[in-house]
Chains A and B, each alone.
Chain A
Amino acid sequence: MTPDTFTRSQWYAIGRTGDFEGAKAKPVRLLSQDLTVNNTSGVLSVNDAEGHSLQTQVRYGHLWTTLSDNPRPLYDMPEFDEPDRRLVTAGGVGVRCSGLRCVENFLDMAHFPFVHTDILGVEDHSSVENYDVSMDAENDEIWATKCKFFQPLASAAATGGQMTEYKYRVPHPYSTILYKTCPIRQNVWDLVGLFIQPVEEDECIVHSFILVFDDENTDTGLLHFQQNIFLQDRMILENQVPRKLPLDPRWELPTRADASSIAYRRWLKANELQWGIALFDKVA
């Protein structure tokens, strides 16, 4: 399937800037197309298979490109300009499922006690309280706010269990950002996010970042925390059937805790996104 307009019109992160040190026609795959990246004296450029040059930008520590001549603007994250924050990028991790499934898993709190046991959740505190889901009509984004969850070890900087407060943002079909209570500073949010590179309809590379206030942990410590969490998620993501995201309600049944997932699926449908979606055909 050729990517639909909504999918095609997005910017996609294809690696960290540092990953293209000395790149000469370095192959990259995006939306079932082979691209190449060149580094000419520190200036990065991207070409498609026919040699046409694609638009690029360097932002949020990553190189972004688009197949569109008239892309939808890349969303803003003003926190990247705040002093004292630390950015740690984890590099790309391949996952054999639609990137849309990765976004949905990221938005989901109900799996914490079972998949991230004793880190992001415990089985004795499995309840998901109601939270608010809203559309930011101006920017065409989804926000889930007032999300609260009991976490024994919310981040690398946490010293014990706490009720963690979350906000989730979906500004892009393949990007999602979590704003969570900073364990060491009042009234600020730490950011954790995913920039997903859709490789095929049912295969993706997840580029993740954390942008936090933390004076204690080393970059390696922060990275290990994130990698540990993400590998636990990957085991789930690669065992969901089908690998593409089903939008047909006859296929997967949500509950109240899935309000953000319901909004996400509705938003994809409203934007007529089709690439990466499983069609309901044979399941009884």
Chain B
Amino acid sequence: MIGDNDIALWRGEDGQIRAWENRCPHRGMRLSYGIVRGNTLTCLYHGWSYNGSGGCAGIPAHPDLAPPKTIRARVYRAADSGGVIWVANPDETSEAPSIDGDWAPNRSVHVDVAPANMKALAEGIGAELVSKITDHAAIVRVPKVAGDVLLAFLDMKEHGAMIHTSVPADASEAIAISISKLSTHLRQIFKASSAAKQAS
């Protein structure tokens, strides 16, 4: 979800991550129910297929018809970096995050209430900010845990937030487990009731 917009994520054979509005331009069917074949995504409803850049590539009801160029899925910006998938609105002009080194995705948790900002999230996990990636992501350091942690959140407004962590690919299992435990702990901190207490 970005704002109120539902997103379908998919990867073709080429490995590239794609984020599209989760509806087929034909009759509004959620594309997340679709089928990936090669580098095309096929809608489950009528089998309309879309190439990797969102253009309609085939309409099975009319196999001889070249699909009009106006039939396009709405394509969001998407990138892979730091073990996390990054998505932005189509009109976002800033560079996609590019994080040095190899990272392994560690744990994603849902919390009831979105953190107010990155500082609040880092404090929640008992970490200090090392470097900012975006307004919703940073590299942080947790005392007693060697090495950096990538911490990011997706604010889903009344639906709460998703919090993602990655650790360096060469981090030990012990580190991975302790970060995972801290992530679980975030559910308690960003609970509807605790947030109300913080506010009062």
Interface residues of A (CB under 8 A from B): 104, 108-111, 113-115, 123, 126-128, 236, 239-242, 246, 251-257, 282, 284
B45 touches A115 (CB 8 A): yes
Chain A residues whose CB sits within 8 angstroms of the CB of B101 once the complex forms: none
- Verify B29–A123 contact, CB threshold 8 A: no
Stretch at the interface among B59-67, B127-135, B155-163, B181-189: B59-67
Q: Check A253 against B26 for contact (C-beta < 8 Å).
A: yes
Q: 9 tightest CB-CB pairs across the interface, nearest first?
A: A126-B60, A257-B61, A110-B61, A128-B61, A240-B28, A239-B30, A241-B23, A114-B47, A110-B46
Compute how far the CA of A203 lies from the CA of B46 in the bound complex, rounded to whole angstroms.
Answer: 23
Q: Are A255 and B61 in contact (CB under 8 A)?
A: yes
Residues of chain B lying within 8 A (CB to CB) of residue A240? 23, 27-30, 45
CB distance from B113 to the nearest CB of A (A): 25
Residues on B lying within 8 angstroms of A by beta carbon are 4, 6, 22-23, 25-30, 33, 44-47, 59-63, 65, 70-71, 74, 90
Interface of A is mostly: loop
A252 and B61 CA atoms in complex are apart in Å by 17
Q: Which residues of B contact A126 (CB under 8 A)?
A: 47, 60-61, 63
Residues of A within 8 A of B61 (CB): 109-110, 126-128, 255-257
For the complex, what is the distance from the CA of A26 to the CA of B103, rounded to whole Å? 61
Nearest CB on A from B74, distance (A): 7
Q: Closest residue of chain B to A256, judged by CB? A: B62
CA distance A242 to B71 in the complex (A): 18
Q: Across the interface, do B46 and A252 meet the contact criterion of CB distance under 8 Å?
A: no
Most interface-central of B22, B29, B65 (chain A CB within 10 A):
B29
Docked complex Cα distance between A113 and B35 (Å): 14
Is A255 a contact of B47 with CB atoms below 8 Å? no
A123: B residues at CB distance < 8 A: 47, 60
Q: How far is the CA of A117 from the CA of B28 in the complex (A)?
A: 20
**Least CB separation from B91: chain A residue:** A284
* A114 CB contact (under 8 Å) in B22, B45, B71, B74: B45
Residues of A within 8 A of B22 (CB): 241
B119 to chain A, nearest CB (A): 31
Q: Is A114 within 8 A of B46, CB to CB?
A: yes
Chain A residues, Cβ within 8 Å of B4: 282
Query: Shortest beta-carbon distance, A120 to chain B, in Å?
Result: 13
Known: A127-B63, A240-B23. 18 other contacts (CB 8 A): A114-B45, A126-B47, A127-B60, A236-B45, A240-B30, A241-B23, A241-B29, A246-B28, A252-B25, A252-B27, A253-B71, A254-B26, A255-B61, A255-B65, A256-B62, A256-B65, A257-B61, A284-B90
